[in-house]
Structure 1
């Protein structure tokens, strides 16, 4: 059967609602009681519950929210360009440091108990119900005849985590850099189109007939919670995904109060209900049963091997340039950027 893929979804009537990415700042506010939240694409459903719970607290009384969601890199660049933002919550640390460098976020944003991390996850492979291709590991993704959906690393944090997870799979098992390049090239050859964001990739998979979607574990769980007829697999060797959040320098006190709530035990328990793993550094978090997880009573099993950006890639400040540099100002292309350019995969943008 010929495989098809939709890189952009217009008028989607499926179970996962999309938020338009055309206005990164959300509604502008003249009142300190309105918080402009700029986030990466897959936060929307969980944040609705997070907002509501905060509004039930004393600091959240009379607070309103003006949220905006899109591909993490695009959202960060929009704030840099002047979009309204009080709380920023991105997929990648580099999307936060862009705003630090532009003097929009304080340089000590990551000095607290969670080191600035507000949500956490791992990589998941979303497959058709019953897993007809028997996808269980990274190696299954590069087999002939397997068609993959992944987002565009140029705009999407989900895609950068996914590609580094594939790289770690090879190098972490003793493979060379050339071995890892060959593996990622084979993966890209099975990935004909790269949608702009993690949410766009999910929508393309749900509307298409591809075999597997590489995404966040929380996105896989949300898809099942929303009634999608899918299953998901966690590879035994995985990558810890850490999503940073901060307030901007001119944000009202209500924004700092909300960030504190996000990074509290009650805030983390709400995010957990929607598939995000609680972050380290927060005491008193009780993991709830999670509808849609493979085992709702034990929703977040520990992978056999869990790589991290800091330990295995030297941190995002090193990994971003090494793997994803875009070649501006005469710089060489990053390893993954170069492999995508050579692969023929169609990288879509918002």
Structure 2
């Protein structure tokens, strides 16, 4: 049941009625919450190793396997049910469709090379792209590959990704995120999409090399060529679609822009409310904030992703707060009683 609920919540946004039923089921028995956490952990493990060669080889062997003898119907139905869970999990975390062969330079020989990659909450996946470039997907992120003979195209659908671009390729490497297009040659940069709708916020942190960021007009999911502006970024700069131009990052900010790749988040004088929001992206046990103005407290430091309880306890100790728990057992930071 936990797997069913978790997969359903990952595949589609739950309505109010389904969300209420899920909350009721979780609160009915502590074992239900434990089962939910086990499923989340299993999916996170799969996501973290989605692009691992051994994992892919094992997946291929499993799909190619054939039963050697007939099973009783009841046993076969149980096996099919288990297989469906595994297959659905794989689809949610890692789905690939390559309709044509790919040349050594990464350009599709017959039609575009396309693949969809997704990670669950708390998951992370490193993906080797057809041309040898590497993309690392952050928690709850999704990207689609769209390589053609004219461009090495990537569409970041949501979340965040770090790109390490292969050099000396005939086609430009271009990432489409929100209403922006990022063009790079032999460089390393981080792209993040926040929000939904036709104009989500897009940010680009350039770690090394040079990139060009161009604003685009979008109609649905199309990628037209008409530009509405372009800037050139240098290493150590940050582009934010909500602001004009590019900002120069401090050394610590530049280093922390992609710290999530190593499983940590680096905060430099960040409001506690924003820091909590960042930490909550990596866990199924989000931290809540109580009354007062504690959301405005300033946080600096490096923290491990996915450990909301430890982060809450650390903040309570530093700022003299107290940690309570909500009905689902999630940590809740509250002002200390006078």
TM-score normalised by structure 1 residue count: 0.25
Computing the radius of gyration from Cα coordinates, the structure with the larger value is 2
User: As a proportion of its length, which structure holds more strand?
Assistant: 2
Q: TM-score, normalised by structure 2?
A: 0.26
Answer 1 or 2: higher relative contact order, Cα 8 Å, separation at least 6.
1
Which is richer in helix?
1
